[in-house]
Amino acid sequence: MTMNLFNQFLSPTFLGLPLIAIALMAPCLLYPSPAPWWQSNRWTTLQNWFIGSFIKQILSPINTKGHSWALLLATLMVFLITLNTLGLLPYTFTPTTQLSLNMAFAVPLWLATVIMGFRNSPTHALGHLLPEGTPTPLVPILIIIESISLLIRPLALGVRLTANLTAGHLLIQLVSSAAFSLLLSQTTAASLAVGLLLLLTILEVAVAMIQAYVFVLLLSLYLQENV
């Protein structure tokens, strides 16, 4: 039973070729490209409005130096939200349930913010390791604690996204298996399970969008600290 539950997270391959590459290209195929003319159609206008509002909201606390990250943060948000929500469709594979993918996003982006901080203003970046107003006896231990919290950030970023999506998909599979197996023998219990499945699916759609937003928001906060 344990094997069957986790089979949905195995990276799909076909004749030895990893299909995750095709899964990762899916968001690129779904969105219209910007048109060369002045006024676009409704769908493109809506897309542009969403990206513009999101970027204004994310970049408002960051100073001008960090605005070069606007393209990256917008792309990352759209990419993650699309991968997460597409994965909720039946029989689809969610690449963001793979820890390798999420760590590949988290580590380079977090490390880039740290290196930017040390490169532009090393004193200011080191100052983040000691909060203001710390009593003198606590200084050594607090520096160690802050350093550990700094180093754990990419791990937390990657694992948060992986765990949230994996847990959601696992719950959906458990409840749907229960509903399916009880369908003929105990119809009332099966209908309750279907009701629970509906609520769970709505929750998972929300979690998919929120987790993508949280990932990008935390990255923008790390950028704000170091720019």
Partner 1 sequence: MPAGSAFGNWWSLMRPYYTKAYQEMWVGIGIMTVLYYKVSYGAASLNKVCSKRLTELSLFISVRDLFINTPKWFGYPIFFYSEPKLSLIN
Amino acid letter at 150?
Answer: L
Please, are residues 182 and 189 in contact by the beta-carbon 8 Å criterion? yes
Q: Which is nearer to partner 1, 119 or 124 (CB)?
A: 119
Compute how many other C-beta atoms are within 10 angstroms of the C-beta atom of residue 212.
Answer: 23
Amino acid letter at 122?
Answer: P
Q: Which chain residues interact with partner 1 by CB under 8 A? A: 2-3, 6, 9-11, 13, 18, 68-69, 71-72, 97-100, 103-104, 107-113, 115-116, 119, 166
Q: Min. distance of Cβ 210 from partner 1 in angstroms?
A: 22
Q: Min. distance of Cβ 187 from partner 1 in angstroms?
A: 33
Q: Min. distance of Cβ 127 from partner 1 in angstroms?
A: 19
Q: Min. distance of Cβ 182 from partner 1 in angstroms?
A: 25
| Cα–Cα distance measured from residue 5 to residue 20, given in angstroms and rounded to the nearest whole number | 20
Q: Min. distance of Cβ 212 from partner 1 in angstroms?
A: 19
Q: Min. distance of Cβ 11 from partner 1 in angstroms?
A: 5
Distances (CA, A) of 102 to 58, 163, 195: 21, 10, 32
Please, are residues 24 and 12 in contact by the beta-carbon 8 Å criterion? no
Q: Which is nearer to partner 1, 193 or 227 (CB)?
A: 227
Angular region, 181: left φ>0, alpha ψ -120 to 50, beta rest:
alpha
Q: Which is nearer to partner 1, 18 or 127 (CB)?
A: 18
Q: Which is nearer to partner 1, 155 or 192 (CB)?
A: 155
User: What Rg value do the Cα atoms of the chain yield, rounded?
Assistant: 22
Q: Which is nearer to partner 1, 2 or 136 (CB)?
A: 2
- Angle between helices 187-226 and 70-86 in degrees, nearest 10: 170
Q: Which is nearer to partner 1, 162 or 179 (CB)?
A: 162
Q: How far is CA 114 from the centre of its chain?
A: 20
- Count CA atoms closer than 13 A to 16's CA, side-chain side: 0
